[in-house]
Chains A and B, each alone.
Chain A
Amino acid sequence: MSTPIDLSTLDAPRIRAAIAAGEFTAREAAQAGLERIEALDGAVHAFNQVTPDLAFAAADRIDALVAGGAGADELPPLAGVPVAFKDNMNLIGTNTTCSSRILENYQSVYDCTAVARMLDAGAVPLGKLNMDEFAFGSSTENSAFGPTHNPWDTDRVPGGSSGGSAAAVSAGMAAITLGSDTGGSIRQPGALCGVVAMKPTYGRVSRYGCVAFASSLDQIGPFSKTVEETALALNAICGKDSMDATSVTRPAEDFTEGLNDGVKGMRIAIVRDMLEMEGVAPEVKASTLAMAEKYAAMGAEVGEVDLPSAQYGLSAYYIIGPAEASSNLARFDGIRYGHRVKDAEDVIDLYMRSRAEGFGPESIRRIMLGTYALSAGYYDAYYGQAQKARTIIIRDFERAFADYDVLLTPTTPTTAFKIGEKSADPLSMYLSDIYTIPVNLAGICGLSIPVGLGADSGLPIGLQLMGTHFAESTILRAARALEADLKFDTTPPVVRNLGA
């Protein structure tokens, strides 16, 4: 039954090249992806929805190009590459549920810009990926449709909120996926699942069509097994969009250019005070220090900086994020679409019960937090203060980037934790984003790259590389240098156990 194509051993450029060379068709590649989903997603549950019709239609367009004589140079850059999207991104022909009961039956009426750009680049959409409800969470346990399991240990969480996006790539169910990152929702699951995961600079990628969590923090970004694929995905999705007033106009960039130029002369610093924070696992701390040494050995100028304000990031984030979310989620009111109670007595009753039934506990918690933070008399003490903290964090980063090109921290304080381990304690769950949140608050770019398995846990550890605004090329180059040096095997046990 199985086709000879093993997507987990093929990256996007090789898939495209093979299709161009006639080794296999895009339809066969799509079929291989769908079969991998069939085989593994029962255990992993990365997908909320699988879309064979959309996949085959896109694949057939590529195959038609090949049949029409298009060679390797004429095919679009992601031709035939199986991809999938976090379920907060609109795609006509799919439901966009945000893993919430309130949008369970919501059918997209338009395409998210980033999704459309991936498809324009020739990618083949296999489906929509599980997430924490409305991206509220760090474990994907807050999905109304059940948790996603980490392919490295299915008793453990994949991280979140883009847990489905990370797990799908890790398990070879798609070569590239898109997620969204508000406080670490791309990088943290990327680290926990042992894949490359990037949050671009705020404004790089249009947010149009991605259901908003916190508008001033949200950014779409890619997951992949290799740095090069992440660069290719950025090539596809970056750029000004007239539908998003916060997207920025920049000169066109090819993020694959200079990817292999190495780090000689690059100024790289460990963020010392963040590394010394409480709650960091010794194996994680040791790994970060070891990576800094590797960079020094590769010719980078390695130093140390402090980001003293970063410790306020979590508090500021848990004001700003919920405040904006409470506003962004108001529209889910049961009037125009989404869950609506049948027997409402009046409009207030309709609002209150539709929302109470439709939203899960974490969504309700964040809506209440945010509503409170914006209330008359509390605004200055909470939202106003949080914005001030944000300004101070931005200044700290500016100071650090005056001296360094790349800043290093662990992506997460620990490796993947057990399903259920933290779900009763929101605060400890919130702490797993302690390293990633300041990047969103400052609007800069950050990337997580797998750097090995923990000496104690045996699970993937991620290193976070942070660059200043629009310095994606720099951190991609640094990440690529490490990737080439480490040759980390991204294949998780759940794939190895397939006996392929």
Chain B
Amino acid sequence: MSKDRLLEVLERWEPVIGLEIHTELTSTRTKMFCGCEVAFGGEPNTRVCPVCLGMPGALPVPNQYAIEQTVLAGLATECTIAPHSLFHRKQYFYPDMPKDYQISQYDQPFCEDGQILVEVDGGGVAQRLDVADGTGVTPAEDGSYTARIGITRIHLEEDTGKMVHVGGSEGRLAGATKSLVDFNRAGTPLIELVSEPDIRTPEEARRFAQKLRLIWLSLGISDCSMEEGSMRVDGNISLRKRGTVEFGVKAEVKNMNSFKSLHDALVYEILRQAELLDSGGTVVQETRHWDVGAKRTSALRSKEAAHDYRYFPEPDMTPFEFSEEFIDGIRQRLPELPDAKKIRFMATWGLPVHDATVLTSDLEMAEFFEAAVTIGGAERAKPIANLMLNDLAAHLNAAGISVTASKVVPAMVDELVALVEEGTISGKQAKDVFTEMAETGDAPGAIVEIRGLKQVSDTGAIEAVVDRIIAENPDKVEGYRSGRTGLMGFFVGQVMREMGGQANPAVVNEVLGRRLSS
């Protein structure tokens, strides 16, 4: 419904979207400016100290590892690493912020001016009306395209604590009688990535965020859990008339706690803003909250609207000077990134672009695949990929688990592919074997053995059955021979049923063809 409406709106209006993505560096053992442990949840106010509680006289000492992780993130997204940078204080009063200022970065962040490539296929293509002409957009033959999304900056800051409102509904402030603060999260190293307003569709926004998450996971800098809030996405969105250059008035959308929310909230905003503009109204610059239940955004009270953060250089620390040697040292730590891995999967294993893209979009699946083909060899790469992208993916999806949590291991997948390849079992049998091995964790060979699933390829045995079927159905034979070749399916079905589905279909076809035409 809203999809058609969206396409209709997009004919006239072009969305301009930029994302701000906060990611906690959960890989650092300790907080940004003190020695407290970085972890999720736990008994409130147990991972705190004078520094992260903002006690009088306490001072911040920067976490060197967090800074290096930020530089690594910058290098992975093709940013320029600033040779000279520093922390600033961003000042505003809020109970979840112990010092009533946040140590952040302002005009001299660690990383600036990068980019990532975002592949968009499927329904998203239709939304990007200007694929061919769009700046930085490369269309592919299959209708998908790759968009280059600029990264304005990546900076490092400290996370705030968490407010818990008691007495109201669902922990919200409205109606609450008491507010509590948990400072366990306060001071967790947090990187903020700001994209250029290069994003044009909700689908692109979702793909961008997913790609970024994949890069961060490849680097191992964060667990990127949107559920636990270690990765948080905010969006700025405005509309402009197709063909014009000037930006419209933007709204900032917050509380998009999943990739689906990100997509849906942006769709909602596009429709909302278009309706306003179409009816001669104007968009108000404001922060809006995505309500996932009501599927709508609503304006937050504009108390924070005209904030003057009174940024000034953090005097408790000296500025940072990064030498070429330091930056090169971090560069050495870069792992293989998703784009490079995809290209390698295509070149080394001969996978088509689609398979390579999907397999490398999940680090564990990619690793699983590599382990399986390392056992089975390049010639089995495609069937292994097929099995993973169909049976395995469906199983994981249904069970709601990741591949490392499943009972299926790479050697089992390779063995199953080999059984089909050798003709021991049919493709159809393989599906049953897969289901059983995913349930039990038993090796496919053992399952075939125990269940007596071996495929019959013995021509003599098949001929005997074929002859009996032909003898029992003279009218059908007559029909076939008089040109109703569609009856072949009937014969194959009869033979397979007779043989308990274990006959080799290729042999059955061959024998039937021979006998019926003679």
A residues near B308, Cβ cutoff 8 Å: 375-376
Given contacts A335-B95, A335-B181, contact A209 B101 (CB under 8 A): no
The total of interchain contacts (Cβ-Cβ below 8 angstroms) comes to: 95
Provide the bound-state CA to CA distance between A395 and B344, in Å: 58
Interface check A6, CB cutoff 8 A: no
Provide the bound-state CA to CA distance between A333 and B181, in Å: 14
Chain B residue at minimum C-beta to C-beta distance from A376: B308
A residues near B60, Cβ cutoff 8 Å: 245
Interface size counted on chain A using CB atoms at 8 A: 44
Interface size counted on chain B using CB atoms at 8 A: 29
Against B, the Cβ 8 Å flags (1 = close, 0 = not) of A428-441 are 00000000000000
Name the distance in Å between A239's Cβ and chain B's nearest Cβ. 16
Interface check B333, CB cutoff 8 A: no
Partner of A211, one of B57, B98, B179, B315: B57
Interface hub of A98, A214, A324, A327 (most chain B Cβ within 10 A): A327
Q: By DSSP majority rule, is chain A's interface helix, strand, loop, or mixed?
A: loop
Name the distance in Å between B159's Cβ and chain A's nearest Cβ. 17
Interface hub of A109, A245, A246 (most chain B Cβ within 10 A): A245
| A327 engages B57 (CB within 8 Å) | no
Interface check A314, CB cutoff 8 A: no
Chain A residue at minimum C-beta to C-beta distance from B95: A335
| A243 engages B56 (CB within 8 Å) | no
Chain B residue at minimum C-beta to C-beta distance from A335: B95
Q: Which B residues between 160 and 203 are near A, CB-CB below 8 angstroms?
A: 179, 181
Name the distance in Å between B315's Cβ and chain A's nearest Cβ. 4
Partner of A103, one of B56, B93, B315, B318: B56
| B50 engages A109 (CB within 8 Å) | yes
Q: By DSSP majority rule, is chain B's interface helix, strand, loop, or mixed?
A: loop
Chain B residue at minimum C-beta to C-beta distance from A247: B59
Interface check A464, CB cutoff 8 A: no
| A331 engages B57 (CB within 8 Å) | no
Given contacts A243-B61, A374-B310, A376-B310, contact A331 B56 (CB under 8 A): yes
Partner of A208, one of B59, B62, B93, B318: B59
Give the segment of A70-78, A88-96, A491-499 that binds chain B: A88-96
B residues near A215, Cβ cutoff 8 Å: 315-316
Interface check B353, CB cutoff 8 A: no
Provide the bound-state CA to CA distance between A324 and B98, in Å: 17
B residues near A112, Cβ cutoff 8 Å: 57
Name the distance in Å between A146's Cβ and chain B's nearest Cβ. 21
B residues near A374, Cβ cutoff 8 Å: 91, 310-312
| A90 engages B56 (CB within 8 Å) | yes
Name the distance in Å between A330's Cβ and chain B's nearest Cβ. 4
| A109 engages B55 (CB within 8 Å) | yes
Provide the bound-state CA to CA distance between A332 and B312, in Å: 19
| B91 engages A246 (CB within 8 Å) | no
Interface check A244, CB cutoff 8 A: yes
Given contacts A88-B57, A208-B59, contact A245 B310 (CB under 8 A): no
Chain A residue at minimum C-beta to C-beta distance from B92: A330
Interface check B317, CB cutoff 8 A: yes
Interface check B54, CB cutoff 8 A: yes
Q: CB within 8 Å of A: which residues of B? A: 50, 53-62, 89, 91, 93, 95, 98-101, 179, 181, 308, 310-312, 315-318
A/B interface sample: 27 pairs, CB < 8 A:
A90-B57, A96-B57, A109-B55, A110-B58, A207-B57, A207-B59, A210-B57, A211-B56, A214-B315, A243-B59, A243-B61, A245-B59, A245-B60, A245-B62, A245-B316, A246-B316, A324-B312, A330-B93, A330-B100, A332-B56, A333-B95, A347-B95, A348-B93, A351-B93, A374-B310, A375-B308, A379-B312
Q: CB within 8 Å of B: which residues of A? A: 88-90, 96, 98, 103, 106, 109-110, 112, 207-212, 214-216, 242-246, 323-324, 326-327, 330-333, 335-337, 347-348, 351, 371, 374-376, 379, 383
